[in-house]
Amino acid sequence: MSSGPARGLPGVDTSPTSPTIEVRLTGRPAPDDVGRLCALLEAAEPSLVICDIGGLGRVGLGAVDALARLRLTARRCGHRLEFRGAGPELRDVLGLVGLGDLL
């Protein structure tokens, strides 16, 4: 997800007729972007949330924080969250910080 104008989040469908919410994170997710996404999850009815993380930029603590925040928000709101597209570097980093179960 990249920073930009607060026009909503591209690739997020929170319509009531949709059984899933699909999200794509790309680049380096900014805290404001993740905060807006968490707010959308809080407003949506419990459903399956598919989060494509294959486009994340260089893996760092910002990405780890973003994924952990999304997971906590989704669980708190009754969503089932699936991360897809994680590369080996992200898997390794999450394992090192004790969050390997996120994927």
Rounded to 5 degrees, what are φ and ψ at 9? Answer: -115, 120
pLDDT of residue 75: 95
pLDDT of residue 82: 94
Q: How far apart are CA 1 and CA 11, in angstroms?
A: 10
* pTM summary value: 0.77
Report the range out of 16-20, 70-74, 98-102 with the highest average pLDDT: 70-74
Domains and CATH numbers, the chain: 20-102 (3.30.750.24)
Which amino acid, one-letter code, is at 61?
Answer: L
pLDDT tens digits for 23-66? 999 888 888 989 999 999 999 999 999 999 999 988 888 889 99
* 81: confidence class by pLDDT, cuts 50, 70, 90: very high
80-88: average pLDDT: 94
pLDDT of residue 103: 86
